[in-house]
Every structure is written in structure tokens, then in C-alpha cells.
Amino acid sequence: MNQPKQPYTFPDSFTWGVATSSFQIEGATFEDGRGASIWDTFCAKQGTIADASNGEIACDHYHRWSEDLDLIKSLEVNAYRFSIAWPRILPKGFGQVESKGLDFYERLVDGLLERNIDPWVTLYHWDLPQALQDQGGWVSRDVVEHFVDYTRIVCERLGDRVAGWITHNEPWCASVLGYLNGEHAPGIKDNYAHLASSHHLLLSHGKAVPVIREIVGDRPVGITLNLVPSVPASSSEADAEANARFDGFFNRWYLDPLAGRGYPQDMIERYKAENYIDDWSFIQDQDLKEISQPIDFLGINYYSRGIIRSDRVDESENLPVEVIANSNPTDMGWEVYPQGIYDLLTRVHQDYDFKSIYITENGAAYATGPDEHGVVHDQLRESYLHDHLIACHHARQAGVPLDGYFAWSLMDNFEWAFGYEKRFGIVYVDYETQQRIPKQSALWYRNVAKTGEISC
């Protein structure tokens, strides 16, 4: 007799969430005293954004936040991860505090709590106040203390109500895309800026952690990294070497110092051998100790894997290695590879042993829009989420302390240099009318979040 197949079951304590970030959804960039961010400046430059768009309206979430919270509630998730726009709180990055900015996030946090949804805050998801960029941005050490002061202000207002704190989202993107290949704001292409900004991002995290703890007590505090599990394209030594370099550049440069191991020695040696930069004085005594403050969880954003070959260095991106374009891609050109999230989770657990791990982003861009009945049949996204969640379940079975999962993203939004052309939402946004339509994937995810189960 055939046994009925058992569903994949997650524990009741599991965090089921959806995620967004401030610049990608809020709009209202000139309202209520908000200062300019580097993304406002970057979007205004010709040729930076694929569809020449900007964040001025985005999903108009700044005005529609209450309906959006109802939408989140309708998805039956128990957590919402959003970010705070630093220039709404401190228009110049430091000094004068704009209380209307704090009021907005307080309404959001209280609105979530009223709906029984845990607020998870990311303090920095790339919208640096332009005034700080004018002083050097993340390349300048001064930004570190400004970030800590900003953190303190936010925690003092919201610390008693926010469920989880994330200092930074994806420092790799902020430093590499922002300061090395110039694809993101502030659009700088410079080796020194790359490494100095990565260091200051990590240092600001380390200095902010004790400040957050002191104010918020035992609520979990962590950081989110975008990590890419990679494999060499062949068994050649050259590909193995390229793969080690990719892993060092992409993953270990951030994981190692956070885990108290300092920067990976092989990467330092490579950079030194190549005269990548000639001034390392931005790393000061005690910095590495501060960076490795114990954290309560590591946030991981996973989208795809890398297959690395030694003979393909992408000069246009000025990146030292290239991820080969793969088959079966999403609209971002990223391979759909659910096994990668399992490989990544088990590897990070084995090598670094963080107390707890959350998938703080996972999802896929597909353009699917509403049919003539207004229904969005995004089966590809649904199966992406399904397969990745099953891989997460396997990772838990293998002993990984994975305590939550946030789908990226709640709704279609401003996808940085791609503008509005790439749609990651589980909810469709009609940018003309600002109508929100939950896609088929959202309805599927709602059932998972509600039951904690995924059918086979």
C-alpha cells in the first residue's frame, strides 16, 4: 500500500516573513524633511538606471503603509523585514534629527504589532545620506561614528518594540557595486575605496552591536550578508585557484572577520602581491576585535550559485573573477539552483558555527503580470520558493540552526540599477495605479506561513 507523503514541517517557532527596503518602496523622497540619499543623486545621473527611473514614487509605500500592512497581514506571515532610511532620520547624516522620519517608522512598527507581525529592522540598506558621501562616504572612517549615532537614535525610539535588528544589508554590494565597479550609488570605481569601504561597513556594524544591545536588551542583533556558494568549473588547478579567490572575495572577506578570524590571509596576500592598494592604514588596532562582536544570528541572502573559471575575468566590471552565466536563469540571468541554499547553509554552519541563521532574502525576478482576469500566474516563482524552502528544511534536518525565512520581496519594487524592469515581488504592483495584486506565489506562500508546512 502506498504511504501518503508527509509534508515538510517547520516548527511553530519558525519565523515566516517578507522583506523590503526603504529606497526600493517608499517614494516620498522629498517629504517630511528627508535629506537626499546617494541613490537620489545616482538616479539623477544619466545612464545609471536601466529605465532612467528613480525612487521618487516607487511603490508609494510612505503614503500607503497602512494598506501595505493589511496586505502583509493577509499573507499570514509572522514577521516583516524593512529598512530605515537614514536620511529620513538625520537629513545630513548627523546632527539635526528629523522627528517626522522617526514618527513614520514608529507608525509602521506599531501598525505591525497591532496586526501581530514582528517588525525586523535593517538599519542600512544602502541609502546613505548624500551629505555623508560628500565627506567621503564609507571610504571615510568618520562615517563609522555617524552610523553608531544614527543607530542609537533609532534604537532609543523603537528599541522596545522591534523584534530583530540587522545592522547592514549586504556589505559586499555596498562596497563592491558602490565603490569598486560603480554599478550602484555612489558610482565610484576604485580599489582603495572598495577595501576601505568594506572595512568601515564592518567596523560600523561591530561598533553598533553593543549600542543596540545596551538599548534593546535581549532582542536578537545580527548582520545580513549576500553569500554565493561557488564551485570550480573544472578540475583544473587554475579553476580551483579562481574559485578560492572568488570565495575569498565574495564570502570569506565578510564572514571571517565577523567570526573573529580577521581578513582571510590568502586574500590579503593576493591583494598585496598585485599591489591592489598601497595603503592599508585604514585597518587600525582593535578594529578586528570590534568587528567580531558576538552576534545573535547571521542573516543570509541567497539567490544563486557561482561556477568559476580562471580564464574569464570580466574587465568591464573590474571584478577579479566571473560567475559564468548559467542555464535556467531568472530575469536577472541568475541560475535557479535550490541545492545552493542547502550547500551554503551547511557550509556556513560547519565553518563558522553562528548561534542562529535566518534567510533574510530569497526569491526570483520574473516579469509575469496579470492575465485578463487580473490573476498573476507566476508558477516559476512559486516553484523557486517551494524548492528553496524544501532545501532549507533539509538544512535544518542536517543540524543547521535556521530559525526563519523572509521572502524577497513583499512586492515588486525599484531594483536598483535595473529600475522597475525586474519584478521580485510575490505581490504585483501596477505602477500606474499603485494597485497591489497578490501573485499565485503569494497565495502559495501564505499557506506555507499559515501551516508551517510544505507539501511534497
Q: Which is nearer to ligand IFM, 8 or 424 (CB)?
A: 424
Burial of 253 (0-12, 13-18, 19+ CB in 10 A): buried
Sign of CA dihedral 431, 168, 349, 297: negative
One character per residue 358-397, x = contact with ligand IFM (rule: CB under 6 A): ---x------------------------------------
Examine residue 124 and tell whether it contacts ligand IFM (CB under 6 A): no
Examine residue 21 and tell whether it contacts ligand IFM (CB under 6 A): yes
Examine residue 444 and tell whether it contacts ligand IFM (CB under 6 A): no
- Which residues in 179-201 are b (16+ Cβ under 10 Å) and which e? bbbbbbbbbbeebbbbbbbbbbb
Rounded to the nearest whole angstrom, what is the least distance from the CB of residue 276 to ligand IFM in the complex?
26
One character per residue 201-240, x = contact with ligand IFM (rule: CB under 6 A): -------------------------x--------------
CA distances from 240 to 101, 172, 232 (A): 49, 22, 5
Q: Residue 349 has which C-alpha cell?
A: 554552519
- Given 26, 170, 290, 335, which residue is catalytic? 170
Q: Which is nearer to ligand IFM, 246 or 408 (CB)?
A: 408
Examine residue 302 and tell whether it contacts ligand IFM (CB under 6 A): no
Q: Residue 339 has which C-alpha cell?
A: 541545492
Examine residue 424 and tell whether it contacts ligand IFM (CB under 6 A): yes
Examine residue 301 and tell whether it contacts ligand IFM (CB under 6 A): yes
CA distances from 316 to 172, 189, 320, 332 (A): 18, 11, 11, 18
Say if residues 257 and 200 touch (Cβ distance below 8 Å).
no
Q: Which is nearer to ligand IFM, 204 or 226 (CB)?
A: 226
Distance CA 90, CA 199 (A): 23
Q: Is 170 a catalytic residue?
A: yes
One character per residue 155-184, x = contact with ligand IFM (rule: CB under 6 A): ---------------x--------------
Burial of 142 (0-12, 13-18, 19+ CB in 10 A): middle
Say if residues 130 and 91 touch (Cβ distance below 8 Å).
no
Rounded to the nearest whole angstrom, what is the least distance from the CB of residue 137 to ligand IFM in the complex?
18
Q: Which is nearer to ligand IFM, 213 or 381 (CB)?
A: 381
- Total residue count of the chain as it appears in this document: 456
Rounded to the nearest whole angstrom, what is the least distance from the CB of residue 332 to ligand IFM in the complex?
7
Binding-site size, ligand IFM (CB under 6 A) = 9
User: Could you give the 3-state DSSP secondary structure of residue 168?
Assistant: strand
Rounded to the nearest whole angstrom, what is the least distance from the CB of residue 381 to ligand IFM in the complex?
13
Task: Tell which one of 8, 246, 302, 408 touches ligand IFM (CB under 6 A).
Answer: 408
Rounded to the nearest whole angstrom, what is the least distance from the CB of residue 83 to ligand IFM in the complex?
9
Examine residue 337 and tell whether it contacts ligand IFM (CB under 6 A): no
Q: What is the DSSP string of 213-244?
A: HHHHTTS-EEEEEE---EEESSS-HHHHHHHH
The residues carrying an active-site annotation are 170, 361
Give me the residues that bind ligand IFM (CB under 6 A), please. 21, 24, 170, 226, 301, 361, 408, 415, 424
